[in-house]
Amino acid sequence: MILVLNSGSSSLKFQLFALHSLQSLASGMIEQIGEESSHARLQFIDSEGKSQKITKNLPIPEHKAAITAMSALLKQSKLLVHLDELAGIGHRVVHGGESFQQPVLIDKKVMAGIKSLIPLAPLHNSANLAGIEVAMDQARNTAQVAVFDTAFHQTIPAHSYIYALPFELYKREKVRRYGFHGTSHSYVGNEAARFLGRPFASLKIITLHLGNGASAAAIKHGSCQDTSMGMTPLEGLVMGTRSGDLDPAILFYLARETGMSLDDLDELLNKKSGLKGICGDNDMRTITERIKDGDKQAELALDIFCYRLKKYIGSYLAVLGGADCIVFTGGIGEHSAPVRQKSCEGLEDLGISLDPEKNESHSGEARAIHMQQSKIQILVIPTDEELEIAAQTRNLISSAPTP
């Protein structure tokens, strides 16, 4: 079996997969780590094929206790007695900087590398590392793999990743665009190729990952050419609570005119902007409901979200010199017909024609939603980052030389 761990600053998501079929055996989450009452839950299919849930409320002060609680849940469900029974553990790591261009087997040197990248992603990489340290300690005989969110974007050329800033800031401080959600862009890109029955290496694909965080990627012949997130996950599309692209001089203006501190500005752009900043809600379902009730502010938020998305689709058509397909994924990409409709509207002359009926249909499966005459195929493909991490972990441990 392969266990995938996604350690956040106050949560631990985990999923257990069968080694060969990569069938999901169980998944769970520990929430509110570090708070007085934490919440641990596991969902799995029992031997009679029924879905079973175990839920516990208990204090979980840090990641060590979270991984112990997860092990206890897996043991209670009779899936696993000890973590050392696993064939491998795959860890999601948000920032791999320029050092990690693909998944790697974790050893002390890799852990030091992840630690050295903490300044680039303080909240994420430190939590990811905390999870790795505990898992390495509790499963000493299990191969463990780090899969980086940034790795898929490491093929982006310099003219796209270098900011127009003094070049020494790149050399000295590593200030450059890295991009995120790479595991998802890579997964849905490959799935799109499979859906179309063509090699990934022969296609030009625009992937749109639209969840609470949102990013677009331009993929040519299997390699990423550009992506909308930058040095941090703040750049690019409008998101739930993040502004995405804006004139950086707004920050100087606000600091001078209102006395806002660096921390205030950080919170403003990351937590109080995006859809939430415009209309007070960051959940696309709520926004859609409000629009149905005639709410103009919610409609403005949707319009701004879709307009930015459309601009990125247009710019990535230019980057790739046309495209074979556009893929919508993430909670919004998979479920919001209005977002797909508005962001593709008026692009018929560029070869993009959405079929309104197919766009309205609901399904958890990969599907095509374009008109027959559409030059560019438009697909909805559910993402599965945990499955991709499990697959990459399995590939790496099966190709690694045995000691």
- Binding positions for ligand ADP, rule: CB under 6 A: 211-213, 240, 283-285, 288, 330-332, 335-336
Other C-beta atoms lying within 10 Å of the C-beta of residue 39? 16
Whose structure tokens read 């209309």?
279
- Nearest Cα to 145, choosing from 206, 76, 72, 96? 96
By beta-carbon proximity to ligand ADP, the closer residue of 166 and 356 is: 356
What's the min distance (Å) between Cβ of 336 and ligand ADP? 4
Contact 216, 228 (CB under 8 A): yes
By beta-carbon proximity to ligand ADP, the closer residue of 88 and 236 is: 236
Edge-to-edge strand list for the sheet holding 204-210: 223-227, 214-220, 204-210, 325-329, 377-380, 367-368
What sections of 197-336 are H helices per DSSP? 249-258, 262-271, 274-279, 284-292, 296-320, 330-335
DSSP letter string, 348-398: GGGT--B-HHHHH---SS-EE-B-TT-SSEEEE----HHHHHHHHHHHHHH
In the three-class reduction of DSSP (H, G, I as helix; E, B as strand; rest coil), residue 321 is classed as coil
Contact 349, 317 (CB under 8 A): no
- Nearest Cα to 91, choosing from 14, 158, 202? 14
What's the min distance (Å) between Cβ of 226 and ligand ADP? 21
What's the min distance (Å) between Cβ of 381 and ligand ADP? 13
The C-alpha atoms of residue 31 and residue 370 are separated, in whole angstroms, by: 40
Q: Residue 247 to residues 182, 251, 253, 398: CA-CA distances in angstroms? A: 26, 8, 10, 47
What's the min distance (Å) between Cβ of 361 and ligand ADP? 13
By beta-carbon proximity to ligand ADP, the closer residue of 75 and 285 is: 285
Q: Which residue is nearest to ligand ADP (CB)?
A: 331
By beta-carbon proximity to ligand ADP, the closer residue of 160 and 288 is: 288
Q: Which residues of 351-365 are buried (b: 16+ CB within 10 A; e: fewer)?
A: bbbbbeeebeeeeee
What's the min distance (Å) between Cβ of 215 and ligand ADP? 10
What's the min distance (Å) between Cβ of 177 and ligand ADP? 20
What's the min distance (Å) between Cβ of 306 and ligand ADP? 13
Instruction: Please identify every residue annotated as catalytic.
Output: 149
By beta-carbon proximity to ligand ADP, the closer residue of 113 and 211 is: 211
Other C-beta atoms lying within 10 Å of the C-beta of residue 105? 14
By beta-carbon proximity to ligand ADP, the closer residue of 302 and 352 is: 302
By beta-carbon proximity to ligand ADP, the closer residue of 144 and 215 is: 215
- Strands 377-380, 325-329: parallel, antiparallel or unpaired by DSSP? parallel
